[in-house]
């Protein structure tokens, strides 16, 4: 792949899937054909922003800022979906839009992608509450998941200072189905654990992209993560799984993740600690480390001998 092709932006295409009567927005960036065919990636966003700001962010002077472009340039068909209640997907239902509802969204999105492209198995990446949605989807639909990457994941919530702080407003989350977000809130994502892990220009571009789509987001994932964990069972996740944990992440308690990891039944599993990273991995200064770890896992050959 020449340097021009490697750095070229990929033309995206919008799609609309149906979950019953609910319309879900999907965004596709197809593989660069000269790079081969490495599978279909479905990216799953977190609690406080829609999918395109997270996975297709453009920042002047920051090479390969869009993870969708980066993977498409390497032969992956890339997709993301706005969960119901977020971004361009429907927001009309009077719901909290919890993690289980997000897993339903992934079922509808994956069904649409299969019907549209023929892809039957997916490389799934989820971050924060998106990792919980992805894990629940993998638990419910193991036949659709070839490899599962869980970033900034939480299982029981043990050892999570961010969730401990957030739980103090539990009554507020219960009383309000949506919560307002603004530029100061986006900055707090990067300052609450370890300031300095992301460039100011990236945080500002991220905030611009998030706030162009939403001025409020659902509270359902906050409720689940503060009061209802665990919502997934590692023993029921049979896909090859990668756990990704930023060094400074206040959501993902290390002991909690290791306990989850030890209970995963598939021996094809990995645990990666990412140095110098807090939360929102793709927006960090060390984002290339995240790309490398994820690409290595998604391109790993399947075991020939399993004993």
First vs last C-alpha separation in the chain: 38
Quick check: 183 and 50 in contact, CB under 8 A? Answer: no
- Tally the domains of the chain: 1
Banded model confidence at residue 195, pLDDT cuts 50, 70, 90: very high
pLDDT of residue 6: 57
Burial of 285 (C-beta count, 10 Å sphere; 0-12/13-18/19+): middle
At 220-267, the pLDDT tens digits run: 999 999 999 999 999 999 999 999 999 999 998 999 999 999 999 999
Q: Is residue 307 part of a domain?
A: no
Say yes or no to pLDDT of 4 above 70: no
pLDDT surpassing 50 at residue 2 = no
Asked whether residue 305 is assigned to any structural domain, the reply reads: no
Instruction: Look at residue 262 and tell me if it is in a domain.
Output: yes
**Residues 275, 246: Cα–Cα separation, whole Å:** 6
Q: What is the pLDDT of residues 119-150, one digit of tens each?
A: 999 999 999 999 999 999 999 999 999 999 99
Residue 159 resides in a domain: yes
Domain assignment present for 304: no
- The pTM of this model reads 0.96
Percentage of the chain surpassing pLDDT 70? 97
Residue 90: the pLDDT is 98
- From the list 240, 247, 100, 223, the residue with the least C-alpha distance to 157 is 223
Q: pLDDT tens-digit profile of 98-108?
A: 999 999 999 99
Q: Identify the domain containing residue 182 by its residue range.
A: 3-298
Average pLDDT over residues 33-58: 95
Number of Cβ within 10 Å of residue 23's Cβ equals: 15
Inside any domain, residue 303: no
Task: Please report which confidence band the pLDDT of residue 35 belongs to, taking 50, 70 and 90 as the band edges.
Answer: confident
9 pLDDT higher than 80: no
Examine the pLDDT at 33 and tell me if it is beyond 90. no
Is the previous residue joined to 230 through a cis bond, with omega within 30 degrees of 0? yes
Question: Which CATH number covers residue 37?
Answer: 3.40.50.1820
Among residues 301, 74, 98, 108, the alpha carbon closest in space to that of 218 is found at 98
Q: Is the pLDDT of residue 63 over 90?
A: yes
CA-to-CA dists, residue 167 to 128, 186, 191, angstroms: 16, 19, 19
Q: b vs e for 257-277, b when ≥16 Cβ sit within 10 Å of the residue's Cβ?
A: beebbeebeeeebebbebeeb
Nearest CA-CA partner of 129 in 83, 167, 172: 83
The per-residue pLDDT for 307 is 86
pLDDT score of 5: 47
Average pLDDT of every residue of the chain:
96
Where does the pLDDT of residue 197 fall: very low under 50, low under 70, confident under 90, or very high at 90 and above? Answer: very high
Residues 6+ positions from 245 with CB-CB distance below 8 Å: 151, 152, 153, 252, 254, 257, 271, 272, 273, 274
Query: Does residue 83 surpass a pLDDT of 90?
Result: yes
Is residue 121 within 8 A of residue 38, CB to CB? The reply is no
- 306 belongs to a structural domain: no
Q: Is the pLDDT of residue 8 over 70?
A: no
């Amino acid at each position: 792949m020449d340097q021009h092709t490697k750095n070229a932006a990929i033309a995206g295409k919008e799609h609309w899937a149906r979950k019953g009567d609910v319309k879900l927005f999907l965004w596709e960036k197809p593989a660069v054909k000269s790079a081969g065919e490495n599978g279909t990636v479905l990216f799953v966003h977190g609690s406080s922003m829609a999918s395109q700001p997270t996975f297709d962010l453009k920042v002047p002077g920051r090479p390969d800022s869009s993870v969708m472009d980066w993977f498409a340039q390497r032969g992956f068909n890339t997709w993301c979906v706005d969960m119901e209640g977020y971004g361009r997907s429907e927001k009309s239902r009077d719901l909290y839009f919890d993690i289980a509802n997000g897993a339903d969204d992934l079922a509808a999105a994956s069904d649409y992608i299969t019907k549209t492209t023929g892809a039957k198995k997916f490389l799934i990446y989820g971050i924060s509450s998106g990792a919980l949605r992805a894990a629940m989807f993998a638990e419910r639909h193991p036949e659709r998941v070839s490899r599962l990457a869980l970033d900034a994941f939480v299982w029981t919530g043990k050892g999570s200072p961010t969730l401990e702080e957030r739980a103090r407003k539990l009554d507020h989350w219960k009383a309000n189905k949506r919560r307002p977000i603004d530029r100061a809130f986006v900055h707090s994502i990067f300052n609450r654990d370890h300031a300095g892990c992301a460039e100011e220009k990236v945080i500002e571009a991220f905030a611009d992209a998030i706030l162009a789509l939403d001025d409020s987001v659902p509270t359902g994932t906050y409720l689940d993560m503060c009061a209802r964990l665990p919502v997934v069972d590692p023993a029921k996740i049979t896909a090859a799984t990668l756990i990704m944990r930023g060094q400074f992440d206040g959501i993902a308690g290390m002991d909690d993740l290791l306990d989850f990891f030890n209970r995963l039944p598939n021996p094809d599993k990995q645990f990666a600690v990412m140095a110098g990273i807090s939360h929102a991995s793709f927006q960090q200064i060390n984002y290339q480390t995240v790309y490398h770890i994820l690409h290595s896992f998604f391109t790993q050959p399947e075991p020939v001998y399993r004993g």
